[in-house]
Amino acid sequence: MVRNGSTRGNERATELGDGEESMVNNGAMHAEGSRRETGTARRIGGLLVVDPDPRTHRACDDLFARQFLVTHAASGHAALEQIERAAPVVVVTELALPDQDGLALVRRLRREHPTMVLVVLTGEPTARAAAQAHRLGVDDFILKDGDSAAYLRHSVRHALERHAHQAEVERLLIELTELNEAFLTNMVELERDNQLLQERLEPLADAGGAVSMLVVDDEVAIVAVLETLLRSQGYVVDGANSGAEARALLAARRFDIVLTDKNLGDASGVDLIREIHATSPETRVLLMTGFATVESAVDAMHFGAVGYLRKPFEDLMVVVNRVDEVVQQMQADRDRARYVHAFQTRNADFLARYRLLKTKLMTLQRPTR
């Protein structure tokens, strides 16, 4: 979620000056509160600040020195050298680095350190950067301004909680896998069926017909082009040129994927996404827009979309490739669901332990507010 302190909290009585300088001053202001919260708490690991601006480093020292061993790097190369020696728990990075794009650093760190907390703290945001950062898996995207320090501390704390939560989910999944293996060992007669079960799962299109899609845009030409393009890939496609027409189609049948423009003339594409997510959460939605802002780049994902496409499309294969990615993920999710369903019915005695683990997983995976 993109955080912008200037649009949140109480209205400020006076206009703040330079954003980064204000962040530093605010960080100092919150430092004492941070000390009171942490007291003599033991440091839980390292926090690396990657930013050429020393003011950001001073602010992060004030915010986190009691909780983390805070280190600094002024460039992407220096950051990677430090991480190679000792990987921190948290990395806070600017996008505008002197030797590389901060997104390239994020991409590499997320690939090589999937459990690391990654927070972008930048003074030069763009819609594309915000959307790409979220697709790369950053834990938060924060804009530098007068309230950034408060949001940064809050963001890091909650990211650590999410990562701990995910680690517990993964531990339970490992335990579930081990339980599965023990079951297969004790039930030799079912081993063959379990090994072949995944192979027998039908492809998505064979199990429920061809993948159905709805394209929503107030420009008739765009709907026509995308209908033709996606049908050529084997998809069943319907089109709508208004929010009202889209809602009528969605009420009449279920769609696997919806591509909707942000501005529909009679409706907001973001509102449509919210409605789809509420009434048909299994439907995957991609937002299309030619009016890119930092907010619209992430609002789609906040309200339940799985991606963001910017118009005009320089290459239509970008649309095809993104849709194919969504379909592949749907296939994987449905395969896993069918596997679990079939496995649950195999042996009632074994399910006594399985259900206990499943209950724990459902509790952990329940969204928090």
DSSP symbols for 276-324: HHHH-TTSEEEEEESS--HHHHHHHHHTT-SEEEESS-S-HHHHHHHHH
- Judgement on whether residues 11 and 155 belong to the same structural domain of the protein: yes
- Judgement on whether residues 11 and 146 belong to the same structural domain of the protein: yes
Report if residue 80 sits inside a domain.
Answer: yes
- Measured torsion, CA atoms of residues 193, 198, 200, 201, in degrees rounded to the nearest 10: 140
- CATH number where 120 lies: 3.40.50.2300
- Judgement on whether residues 11 and 142 belong to the same structural domain of the protein: yes
| Domains: count for the chain | 2
- Judgement on whether residues 101 and 8 belong to the same structural domain of the protein: yes
Report if residue 188 sits inside a domain.
Answer: no
The predicted model scores a pTM of 0.42
**Sign of the CA dihedral with 121 first, then 123, 126, and 128 last:** negative
From 109, 107, 55, 54, select the one nearest 79 (Cα to Cα): 109
Q: What is the pLDDT of residue 368?
A: 53
- Judge if the upstream peptide bond of residue 203 is cis by omega within 30 degrees of 0: no
End-to-end CA distance of the chain: 13
Report if residue 192 sits inside a domain.
Answer: no
Expressed as residue numbers, the domain containing 143 is 2-162
Report if residue 171 sits inside a domain.
Answer: no
- Judgement on whether residues 211 and 108 belong to the same structural domain of the protein: no
Burial class (CB in 10 A: 0-12, 13-18, 19+), 252: exposed
- Judgement on whether residues 11 and 145 belong to the same structural domain of the protein: yes
pLDDT values of the chain reduced to their tens digit, one per residue, 369 residues: 444 433 333 333 223 234 434 443 443 334 334 434 444 345 668 999 999 999 999 999 999 999 999 999 999 999 999 999 999 999 999 999 999 999 999 999 999 999 899 999 998 778 888 999 999 999 999 999 877 888 899 999 999 988 888 888 888 878 877 776 676 666 555 555 554 554 444 444 444 568 899 999 988 999 999 999 999 988 999 999 988 999 999 999 889 999 988 888 888 888 888 888 888 888 999 888 776 555 665 766 777 788 878 888 878 888 899 899 988 888 887 777 766 666 555 555 666 676 777 777 777 666 554
* DSSP tag of 97: -
Rounded (5°) CA angle 59-127-366 = 75
**Total residue length of the chain:** 369
* DSSP tag of 96: B
- Judgement on whether residues 29 and 120 belong to the same structural domain of the protein: yes
Q: What is the pLDDT of residue 340?
A: 64
Report if residue 189 sits inside a domain.
Answer: no
- Judgement on whether residues 135 and 281 belong to the same structural domain of the protein: no
Q: At what angle do helices 148-186 and 348-365 cross, to 10 degrees?
A: 170
Q: What is the pLDDT of residue 102?
A: 92
Count other Cβ atoms within 10 Å, centred on residue 332: 11
Report if residue 49 sits inside a domain.
Answer: yes
Q: What is the pLDDT of residue 310?
A: 80
- Judgement on whether residues 144 and 219 belong to the same structural domain of the protein: no
Report if residue 338 sits inside a domain.
Answer: no
Q: What is the pLDDT of residue 331?
A: 82
- Judgement on whether residues 19 and 151 belong to the same structural domain of the protein: yes
- Judgement on whether residues 121 and 237 belong to the same structural domain of the protein: no
Are 246 and 216 in contact by the 8 Å Cβ rule? The answer is yes
Report if residue 157 sits inside a domain.
Answer: yes
- Judgement on whether residues 128 and 256 belong to the same structural domain of the protein: no
